[in-house]
Amino acid sequence: MAGLELRRTGGLSADSLFRRITGTGLLVLGVALVGLIVAFVGYSNPLWAIQSPIDFLTSATWSTGTIDENGQVVDALYGALGALFGTAATSLIAVLFAAPIGILAAIYLVEFAPPRVSAPLTFIVELIAAIPSVVFGLWAAGDLSNRLRDTIEWWIASSFGRFIPFLSEDPESPAADSVFRAGFLLAIMILPMVVAVSREFIRSVPISLREGYIGMGATKWEVIRDVILPTARIGLIGGVLLALGRAIGETVAVTMVIGNAEGVPSSLFQPGQTVASKIASNIAEASGEIAIGSMAALGLSLFLLTTMISLAVRVLIRRFAFTGGRA
């Protein structure tokens, strides 16, 4: 659509003025993006002056240090391993639950449900995405968390906890908060996204492919297993990745149920923290450029993670557009 500009008149015509005004809008977005990168790199710089990024990534000790007689901060160490572990654990748990259920639900909506069931059901699933995360957090803290503790968490701990210490929990006194429950809550929150994206890609599989296989005598499920899932595979992976990105950045709801405990928890059923929840619970007290630098470093790691995911999804989806599906 670049062909709109048919004539170039000299000077600042109304057309080129309009072009510039609208172009400024895009420029603002670019400036914001560059500004984000510059600010996070710049403000995290004071931290790298006292410790290396490797310490930041590999140490589980988060200590603001003490102030010696000269008024200098000593023994400060900002290790984000605990938070990084929590982010990885909660978002992987979320994907573990949300991906299969979301994709199967999308299959139901596209392939099995009659239109008068499919439309309202799709609508309801999309509504879940509209609920503010603080409401999810309040619900989880007040109700869901305890239910999970007494059902799924108890079941996993009692069946696998004996062999795998990482999945163990004291049945007499289960922890008030846990990494697992935060991850499960995230699964609910990202589910609509998995369903919405999967639905789009499953729908885009050409009808002729389905008909060809049905004509060979395949059952509906065989069509799904052998035609639809392989064809839509890249799109489905892209959708799950997008949802993973959402889970990584989710803050308030997670902060309300994860317990905000320092370090790497000994079990998934113990309290922990994520990068986002650490920022949320520590930033109010951060003072001095090193402490603020530690917040910028946490923000930077979240930004880099989600940016990598966004770019990966972009590449994947582009590949999907090339290799098929949308014929």
Q: In whole angstroms, how close is the CB of 145 to another protein at the nearest point?
A: 11
Q: What angle do CA 253, 107, 98 make, to 5 degrees?
A: 20
Among residues 28, 74, 164, 321, the one that binds another protein under rule CB under 8 A? 28
Residue closer to another protein by CB (options 9, 72) is: 9
Which one of 89, 175, 240, 296 is in contact with another protein (CB under 8 A)?
296
Options 310, 321, 322, 326; binder of another protein; rule CB under 8 A: 310
Q: Which amino acid is at 73?
A: V
- Angle at Cα 26 formed by Cα 24 and Cα 27, nearest 5°? 60
Q: How far is 76 from 64, CA to CA, in rounded Å?
A: 5
Token pair for residue 278? Answer: 């650490």
DSSP-assigned beta bridge partners for residue 67: 73
Instruction: Please report how close the Cβ of residue 202 comes to another protein at its closest, in angstroms.
Output: 11
Q: Which of residues 263-282 bind another protein (CB under 8 A)?
A: 276, 279-280
- Total residues contacting another protein by CB under 8 A comes to 99
Which of these, 62, 55, 12, lies nearest to 272 by C-alpha position?
62
Q: Give the binding range for another protein (CB under 8 A) out of 47-55, 64-72, 173-181, 217-225.
A: 217-225
Least Cβ distance, residue 70 to another protein (angstroms): 25
- Coil, helix or strand for 277? helix
Residue with tokens 């240090």: 65
**Binders in 43-72 for another protein, by CB under 8 A:** 43
Q: How far is the CB of 160 from another protein (least distance, A)?
A: 22
Residue entry with tokens 């160490």: 77
**Six-digit token pair at 45?**
């710089």
Identify residues 185-204 at the interface with another protein (CB under 8 A).
188, 191-192, 195-196, 200
Q: Which residue's CB is nearer to another protein, number 109 or number 179?
A: 109
Q: 81-107 vs 179-203: helix axis angle to the nearest 10?
A: 40
- Which of 79, 82, 86, 102 is close enough to bind another protein by CB under 8 A? 102
Task: Assess 299 for contact with another protein (CB under 8 A).
Answer: yes
Residue 87: phi and psi, rounded to 5, are: -65, -45
127 is a contact residue toward another protein (CB under 8 A):
yes
